[in-house]
Amino acid sequence: MELIFVFAGVAFLIALIHSIVKVFFLEEKWETLIFSNGLDNKNMLEIYSYLRSEGIKCIIVNLESDSGFSSSNGLISTRNIVPQRLDVHKNHIHKARNLILKRYGTSLG
């Protein structure tokens, strides 16, 4: 019976060490380059495709949208509009900004 507690303790320590190493040493850091309100996501997809084709490590994050107005009030519902964010790996952020400046003529972030 005591052997079970020893194995459980060892497993807990291994999981704890793995979590600490993952958080402090292996976790990739991302930096937000563009934030979209959800109304103009086509441009974000275009920029994302361009950056990926240039070898930039980036991701698009869809954010939950709880805000909205009831259509019964005569206002336009924003419930289906999903804001997005374009995150770039911290090692590629400067190169991504330079590529956007070169192609689109504007600096972001």
Q: Which residues pair with 35 in a beta bridge?
A: 85
Residue 47 in any domain: the answer is yes
- Average pLDDT of the residues in 66-89: 60
Residue 71: pLDDT over 60: no
Number of domains in the chain: 1
Alpha helices in the chain (DSSP H): 2-21, 41-53, 93-104
Length of the chain: 109
Residue 15 in any domain: the answer is no
User: Cα separation of 75 and 109, whole Å?
Assistant: 32
Residue 65 in any domain: the answer is yes
Residue 22 in any domain: the answer is no
Residue 1 in any domain: the answer is no
Residue 7 in any domain: the answer is no
Average pLDDT in the chain: 76
The pLDDT of residue 51 is 92
Whether the pTM exceeds 0.85: the reply is no
Residue 64: pLDDT over 90: no
Residue 14 in any domain: the answer is no
User: Cα separation of 32 and 24, whole Å?
Assistant: 20
Residue 67 in any domain: the answer is yes
| Cα-Cα-Cα-Cα dihedral sign, residues 67, 49, 27, 92 | negative
The more confident residue out of 43 and 77 is 43
pLDDT one-digit tens code per residue, 9-29: 999 899 888 877 776 666 678
Host domain of residue 50: 29-104
Q: Output the six-digit token pair for 98.
A: 């330079």
Q: What is the CATH number of the domain that holds 48?
A: 3.30.70
